[in-house]
Amino acid sequence: MAKVVQAWQNDLTLFQNDLAYTPNNARTHFNLGRYYIINTDQMANQQQAIERGVALLRQAVGIDPRFTNAHQLLAAGYDQLGQTGRAITHLRKYTRLAQRGNKHPVKVAQAFRDLGDLYHRKGKTDSMQTAYQQAINIAPDQFQNYFNYGNKLFNQGLYEEAVQQYQKALQINPDSYDCYYNIAAAQVNLGRHKKAGQNLQQALKLRPGDEQAKQLLNRIGGRGGN
């Protein structure tokens, strides 16, 4: 443990020295800001560490407004501070810059999913759906795009739409227990107990004896009647 702490302190000192030598360099602000954000668990005052990291990252984008990764990390920092609106602003900037800079589609899709999650937290359903649709357009073969989207729709009570996304996710991964279970839960909320039962049976084939699936199946009376 002592060696880990010493290595962490050495790295922190290195980044601080770099910033002292090149105070007008966006990268040195980014490196130190990133260090504070991703190592908050090592800090005595985590809130203060995040605030310090955010301040440094703001300086980085002030020097270089097109610093793509700095905007992404700023979004993460603001999110940790509970400032969702500012997190959305910087994540939107990241997605625009990332697309122009030909970032890997999987990374850009992940950013749009994160953006959708932030909109979901703000209760902005239309913006959430737009963000997830952009993720799907960029990486249409990615399971997580459809599955996460389905979860957000489910949480907002849009069960029919959630089922559609889970079914698309199953086309990519037919062995997803979570998809079958979530479809069943959505079908229960829609009053379609027979279809729910069929999906729970599929879930139990993948996880025999699973208590969660068995409990829901018992709740609707075996295979369900409707």
Task: Spell out the domain ranges in the chain.
Answer: 9-103, 175-226
Average pLDDT over residues 20-28: 92
The candidate with the shortest Cα–Cα distance to 94, out of 79, 117, 112, is: 112
* Residues 35, 12 contacting (CB under 8 angstroms): yes
* DSSP structural state of residue 102: T
Q: Is the pLDDT confidence value at 226 over 60?
A: no
On average, the pLDDT of the chain sits at 91
Phi first, then psi: give them for residue 86, nearest 5 degrees. Answer: -70, -35
Measured over the CA atoms of residue 120, residue 125, residue 130 and residue 132, the dihedral's sign is positive
Q: Cα separation of 224 and 226, whole Å?
A: 6
Residue 119 to residues 83, 130, 179, Cα–Cα distance (Å): 12, 10, 23
Average pLDDT over residues 52-63: 97
Q: Is the pLDDT confidence value at 106 over 60?
A: yes
Please report the pLDDT score of residue 225 as a whole number: 46
Q: Is the pLDDT confidence value at 23 over 50?
A: yes
Q: Thinking of the domain 9-103, which architecture would CATH place it in?
A: Alpha Horseshoe (1.25)
Query: What's CA 171's distance to the chain center, in Å?
Result: 22
Record the pTM.
Answer: 0.87
Q: Cα separation of 213 and 83, whole Å?
A: 37
Average pLDDT over residues 135-160: 97
Q: Is the pLDDT confidence value at 206 over 50?
A: yes
